[in-house]
């Protein structure tokens, strides 16, 4: 995948997100995402690139330049009734608390 627009689209599609979902999760506008993917804007700003890479779970270097191997596809989201985008909207501390809660619940069920 040689162009930024293609890498961005590939990473977004791998996660099953729409442009609107990626925009919401990254704090960018849907039109910015559309412009990046269509090639109307050749490259994102450094801050936008970092936001996109973080949300998509890819390295900024791969997203910007393709200078590292493509990331492996993410594991499937195990909770179909809860959109993954809602999980991503949690703050890091909230994510850790939720993961600890799920882990404790699973432990209580299997013991």
Token pair 């090639």: residue = 39
Predicted model pTM? 0.68
pLDDT of residue 85: 79
Domain range for 93 is 77-110
Same domain, 65 and 86: no
Same domain, 69 and 83: no
> Which residues fall within 8 angstroms of residue 44, CB to CB, at 6 or more apart?
4, 32, 36, 52, 64
Please write the tens of the pLDDT for every residue from 25-68. Answer: 899 999 999 999 999 988 899 999 999 999 998 999 999 998 87
Same domain, 68 and 84: no
Same domain, 68 and 81: no
Same domain, 45 and 66: yes
Instruction: Find the angle CA(64)-CA(68)-CA(74) to the nearest 5 degrees.
Output: 90
């Amino acid at each position: 995948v040689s162009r930024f627009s293609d890498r961005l689209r590939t990473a977004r599609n791998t996660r099953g997100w729409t442009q609107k979902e990626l925009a919401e999760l990254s704090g960018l506008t849907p039109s910015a995402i559309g412009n990046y993917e269509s090639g109307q804007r050749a490259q994102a700003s450094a801050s936008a690139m970092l936001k996109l890479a973080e949300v998509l779970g890819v390295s900024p270097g791969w997203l910007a330049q393709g200078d590292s191997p493509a990331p492996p596809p993410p594991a499937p989201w195990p909770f179909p009734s809860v959109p993954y985008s809602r999980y991503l909207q949690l703050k890091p501390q909230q994510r850790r608390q939720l993961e600890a809660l799920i882990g404790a619940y699973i432990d209580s069920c299997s013991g």
